Chain A
């Protein structure tokens, strides 16, 4: 046994601690049950859009002179089922009877309720196009000439940011990213602190430290609980995407979703190193579980600010506050991946944000390990951060 070189035994110690966390926490009944429940909920949510919208089409009534022209405009769009009525009165009745959701006739939009913005835009532009066409016909142009003149390609998106950082997705993706990041950091961070306090309050740490170094104990715990959190996340994503694929919803997901998921995972690893080691460090300041919440408060507050800031940022991704939040750690951990999903962020900002976050993660590792090393054997009253930092090693 003594022939083992210290490098391998260092890594082995780290791995033993990590694998114990994975076994005990990952395979605990509590974790398995909560994972099963979450997976079930995500599965149902993913299937819900398909289950609820029995019919995807919106029925529209048309009447009057322009009816045929509008119908031609709407024809390529499969989401709209068009009925042409003989008179404006018939179309009105159809709306009143609920046969169609809205009707367009003689330059007016008939509806029972308010028409949603999307439908309104579609009908407006169809009406406008039809009017232009009939106007041009009246001016003596041939229908084929008109068609040629009006045939335009939709706008092409050209990203001006260098390196083509993952393209802007949409509000919803950003929201999902910020929520997932928030919970995926909040939960394991609490588990790390609780685990540290458990070892301290049960005094087992004194035996552990005769065969392990403090950094192995802290690092192994962070890695182990990180793996558990990651496995849970991957399981949830896999179920979500699997159900979406099975119900045929997948093609509707914005382009770049997979890339965003991957890069979010990268951000999460950096963020977890930062928050996780800090949580372990401050956890070692107290000896009782009841006190864990209060020493964790600065960390959970920072996480909450990062989350709330990201929600704000979704509406103003390029505001000064949004840019600051997405650059400055620890907030950038959630803010930047969120911002990247909704707007094209210049590559230098992304690089700067990653650099700063990685630097602060290294700083947190050192600080967390130092706090841990200096206070983990101190039992009894809660230690003040200042005392621990001032104390000689």
Chain B
């Protein structure tokens, strides 16, 4: 279990993190959401030990996280980086060794991973000869090769085509199913909704909402959406606060059975249900507050 506790970081006059806390349980996939400059990358860099925090701590399995444990984590930084003039297979294996694997182990893991990512044919090619999409896959391979205990990925899906998105998503789900906590940031909120168990929303260096996807959705004010074929404007007659969304009525805070009765009297009802807020809506709402 990884616990990030009250991280603070300033760059000169700018406050990048203003008390960020976050925790990841085994097998949990956490989506880290925030506008550009909100502090996602800084928080992830501190967790990976690339940057030092001004205050706060990162605790792993009950004790402060050290370099030897970090070596067993997998990391994909926002700024991708590979040695352009090194062969793909050699490069992935090199990172396996850097993370503490023996040479033979690293080679074996590299072969497996390249097969899984459809890169076996390119193992002998220099990275600079690969397409951008394939380079992204190599980047993922570099972060996965040492069978990490925990994954921290900064924008792993950016720049991927839809097929690569699926490959990446499957790879992450597989690791999570094996008990690995996965924390990743993304601007693609529908992806977060599809892949994540929990979401943490960061704004201006503070976590403004965090919890499981269901919790966050439940926390939202429930909105009843009503579509009814009638010439009459029901706005004045429906209970609660009523707004219009195109032809639909949005009702907040009224008795739903009464809403249904009034609507059925006025004409045939084609839609009557509570809106499921998307992560995108939750995010917009949280940031706006």
CB-CB nearest in chain B for A1 = B100
A-B contact pairs, 16 of them (CB 8 A): A1-B100, A6-B68, A20-B86, A28-B85, A198-B84, A202-B81, A202-B82, A202-B84, A204-B81, A206-B45, A206-B79, A206-B81, A207-B81, A210-B70, A211-B71, A211-B99
| B97 cross-chain contacts in A, Cβ below 8 A | 16
Contacting pair B50 A209 (CB below 8 A): yes
Q: B32 on the interface (CB 8 Å rule)?
A: no
| B72 cross-chain contacts in A, Cβ below 8 A | 1-2
How many Å lie between the Cα of A4 and that of B69 in the bound state?
12
With A4-B100, A9-B100, A20-B94 as contacts: A210 and B73 at CB distance below 8 Å:
yes
Q: A205 on the interface (CB 8 Å rule)?
A: yes
Contacting pair A210 B48 (CB below 8 A): yes
Cβ-neighbour of A212 out of B51, B86, B98 (below 8 A): B98
Contacting pair B75 A210 (CB below 8 A): yes
Min distance, Cβ B240 to any Cβ of chain A, angstroms: 52
Q: A203 on the interface (CB 8 Å rule)?
A: yes
With A16-B97, A211-B99 as contacts: A203 and B50 at CB distance below 8 Å:
no
| B77 cross-chain contacts in A, Cβ below 8 A | 203, 206-207
With A1-B101, A202-B82, A379-B79 as contacts: A207 and B68 at CB distance below 8 Å:
no
Q: B272 on the interface (CB 8 Å rule)?
A: no
How many Å lie between the Cα of A6 and that of B69 in the bound state?
12
Chain A positions 210-259 with a Cβ under 8 Å from a chain B Cβ: 210-213
- A-B pairs with lowest CB-CB distance, top 9: A204-B81, A203-B81, A203-B79, A206-B77, A1-B100, A211-B98, A202-B81, A211-B71, A210-B75
CB-CB nearest in chain A for B79 = A203
Contacting pair A207 B142 (CB below 8 A): yes
How many Å lie between the Cα of A339 and that of B121 in the bound state?
57
How many Å lie between the Cα of A213 and that of B83 in the bound state?
18
| B94 cross-chain contacts in A, Cβ below 8 A | 16, 20
How many Å lie between the Cα of A287 and that of B165 in the bound state?
31
Interface size on B, residues (CB 8 A): 33
Q: B273 on the interface (CB 8 Å rule)?
A: no
CB-CB nearest in chain A for B70 = A210
CB-CB nearest in chain B for A5 = B68
Contact with B along A1-28 (1 / 0, CB 8 A): 1101010010001001000100110001
* Majority DSSP secondary structure for residues of B touching A: loop
Chain A residues at the B interface, C-beta cutoff of 8 Å: 1-2, 4, 6, 9, 13, 16, 20, 23-24, 28, 198-199, 202-213, 377, 379
Contacting pair B98 A206 (CB below 8 A): no
Chain B positions 31-87 with a Cβ under 8 Å from a chain A Cβ: 45, 48-51, 67-73, 75-77, 79-86
| B50 cross-chain contacts in A, Cβ below 8 A | 206, 209-210, 377
Contacting pair B100 A207 (CB below 8 A): no
Min distance, Cβ A67 to any Cβ of chain B, angstroms: 73
| A16 cross-chain contacts in B, Cβ below 8 A | 94, 97-98
| A210 cross-chain contacts in B, Cβ below 8 A | 48-50, 70-71, 73, 75
Which interface residue of A4, A28, A210 has the most chain B CB atoms within 10 A?
A210
| B86 cross-chain contacts in A, Cβ below 8 A | 20, 24
| B90 cross-chain contacts in A, Cβ below 8 A | 23
Contacting pair A377 B70 (CB below 8 A): no
How many Å lie between the Cα of A4 and that of B72 in the bound state?
13
How many Å lie between the Cα of A377 and that of B45 in the bound state?
11
| A4 cross-chain contacts in B, Cβ below 8 A | 68, 100
| B76 cross-chain contacts in A, Cβ below 8 A | 207
Min distance, Cβ B212 to any Cβ of chain A, angstroms: 28
Contacting pair B83 A202 (CB below 8 A): yes
CB-CB nearest in chain A for B73 = A210
| A23 cross-chain contacts in B, Cβ below 8 A | 90
With A9-B100, A212-B98 as contacts: A207 and B83 at CB distance below 8 Å:
no
Contacting pair B79 A377 (CB below 8 A): no
Q: A204-B81, A209-B50 are in contact. List 19 more A-B contacts (CB 8 A).
A: A1-B72, A4-B68, A6-B68, A9-B68, A9-B71, A13-B98, A23-B90, A24-B83, A24-B85, A206-B45, A206-B50, A206-B81, A207-B75, A210-B48, A210-B49, A210-B71, A210-B75, A211-B98, A377-B51
Min distance, Cβ B94 to any Cβ of chain A, angstroms: 6
Cβ-neighbour of B98 out of A6, A202, A208, A377 (below 8 A): A208
How many Å lie between the Cα of A24 and that of B82 in the bound state?
14
Contact with A along B224-250 (1 / 0, CB 8 A): 000000000000000000000000000
| B51 cross-chain contacts in A, Cβ below 8 A | 377
How many Å lie between the Cα of A203 and that of B100 in the bound state?
22
Min distance, Cβ B117 to any Cβ of chain A, angstroms: 17
Contacting pair A213 B67 (CB below 8 A): yes
Min distance, Cβ B181 to any Cβ of chain A, angstroms: 16
CB-CB nearest in chain B for A4 = B100
CB-CB nearest in chain B for A209 = B50
